[in-house]
Amino acid sequence: MENRRRLGRPRACRKISSNIKVNYFKPRGLPLSSLKEVELTKEEVEALRLKNIKNLDQTKCAETMKTSQSTFQRILASAYKKMSIAIVEGQAIKIIKE
C-alpha cells in the first residue's frame, strides 16, 4: 500500500494550561454502557474554561491558547455544539486526552 501524506497544514500546537481531573460526565441513573458518547478534546475544554470560568474576552482567550481568534471561535463553537447535544439528547461526555 502506498504511504500517503496528510493534506493541508500540520495541526498547530496550542497551549492548554488546565489539568483535567475527570474524563467522563454522564446522566445520573443510566449505565455508561447504554449511552452514546460525545467526545470533547482538551482544546475544547480549555476554550470553555477560559471563556466561561475565567470570563476572558475572545481575543484574550485566543492569545492565551496561542491561536488566532477565528480558530478559537471554531474550537469554542464546536465545544458548545457537542455540550448541547449531550445535554439535550442525554449522552455521556468523554474528554479525550490527545
CATH code for position 57: 1.10.10
Q: Closest by alpha carbon to 41, among 74, 79, 90, 92?
A: 79
Contact 35, 45 (CB under 8 A): no
Domains held by the chain: number: 1
- Tell whether 45 is covered by a domain: yes
The model's pTM: 0.79
- Tell whether 53 is covered by a domain: yes
- Would you give per-residue pLDDT tens digits along the chain (98 residues)? 455 555 665 556 555 666 777 788 999 999 989 999 999 999 999 999 999 999 999 999 999 999 999 999 999 999 999 999 999 999 999 999 76
How many residues does the structure list for the chain?
98
Cβ-Cβ contacts under 8 Å for 75 (sequence gap 6 or more): 43, 44, 47, 65, 67
